[in-house]
Homo-oligomer: A and B are copies of this chain.
Amino acid sequence: MDFVARVYVTPKKAILDPQGKAVASSLQALGYDGVDDVRLGRYIELQLSGVAGSKAAENRVDEMCRRLLANDVIEDYRFDIEEKLEEQRA
């Protein structure tokens, strides 16, 4: 079975996010008021093939996150998994 996994990695709440702060000040400089906070993270889209089922895909992506995609000490991650239908395979 083929899956698409979408992984969202964000800095933990307690961790300073200078990139996010820079984006927030840039938005304010452009005249956008009311931007209280910006957090900047990574978005990773994985195309998986030959996985036994959605539970197996979930376990595999969680392991990938812990081993490579996210740094558990300073980052949080979450992900969703979607089965690819025939017509999306291209």
Contacts and interface: CB of A to CB of B under 8 A. Distances in A.
A5 B22 CA distance: 17
A36 B88 CA distance: 14
A51 B33 CA distance: 9
Contacts of A44: 20, 23, 38-41
A43 B46 contact: no
A64 B32 contact: yes
Interface string A41-78: 11111111111000000001000100111000000000
Contacts of A37: 46-47
Nearest to A49: B34
A53 to B, nearest CB: 13
